[in-house]
Amino acid sequence: MPVLYLLRHGTLLPNPERRFIGQRDVPLSEEGKRQALYWKHELADIPFTEAWTSDLPRCLSMTRLVLEGRRLPVRPDAAFREIALGDWEGMTKAEVEERFPGAIAERGRDFWSYVPSGGESFSMLAGRVLPALHRRLSALSPDGTALLVAHAGVNRVILMRYLALGMADFFALPQPYAACTRLRFSAKDLAQLV
């Protein structure tokens, strides 16, 4: 059965105003780089046969640090990008509320389906992440081991489907910076990804 190590990128530069990040280019902090080196050490004996990552710089940096010294090609994929928050990206909640009155509350009532202006819903996120993961895992040899470095939203979508949870459990799935989860995919698990 294929094995997937699902790793969230490390800590980012401080965001004291708690601006929406989404797909913005926010680099790893020094702590994030230390977290990557921790996982480089912890995963040193794992014989990865594939390495996939979001194509956003924070994930590319994390992946390169974790796999430094290995002769393993890294395959970036836009399908594993964080949820797109569109016009909200770079704004605080107060700024969103000022520009899009009632939008925060509306999203809170239906996180799964709500689409921010110019962005995507969590349902749309799942619709691009899960088929991409299914394709990649299906092409992996039965005894293959892959690393996927992605984002909190992406990882939660994968874990939610893997654990057969509903949207109500989405934010209950912990995904702190540099969280790593090992998943083994049976044929049944693969079938549930689509």
Q: Give the pLDDT band of residue 36 (cuts 50, 70, 90).
A: very high
Contact (Cβ atoms closer than 8 angstroms) between residue 122 and residue 111: yes
d(CA 162, CA 177): 20
Name 82's Cβ contacts closer than 8 Å, sequence gap at least 6: 21, 22, 23, 54, 56, 150, 151, 152, 153, 154
Using a pLDDT cut of 70, give the percent of the chain over it. Answer: 100
Which of the two residues, 69 and 194, has the higher pLDDT score?
Answer: 69
Question: For the chain, what percent of residues have pLDDT higher than 90?
Answer: 84
pLDDT at residue number 153: 95
- What is the tens place of the pLDDT at every residue in 97-141? 999 999 999 998 998 999 999 999 999 999 999 999 999 999 998
Domain of 69: which CATH number? Answer: 3.40.50.1240
Mean pLDDT of the region 44-67: 97
pTM: 0.94
What pLDDT sits at residue 111? 86
Mean per-residue pLDDT, 53-75: 96
| Domains contained in the chain, number | 1
Q: What is the pLDDT of residue 193?
A: 76
Helices (H), 16-114: 30-42, 57-66, 93-99, 103-109
Tell me which residue range forms the domain holding 54. 3-191
How confident is the model over 172-181, as a mean pLDDT?
A: 94
- What's residue 190's pLDDT? 81
**pLDDT band at 60; cut points 50, 70, 90:** very high
Contact 146, 52 (CB under 8 A): yes
Mean pLDDT of 84-104: 95
C-alpha 56/C-alpha 65 separation (Å) is: 15
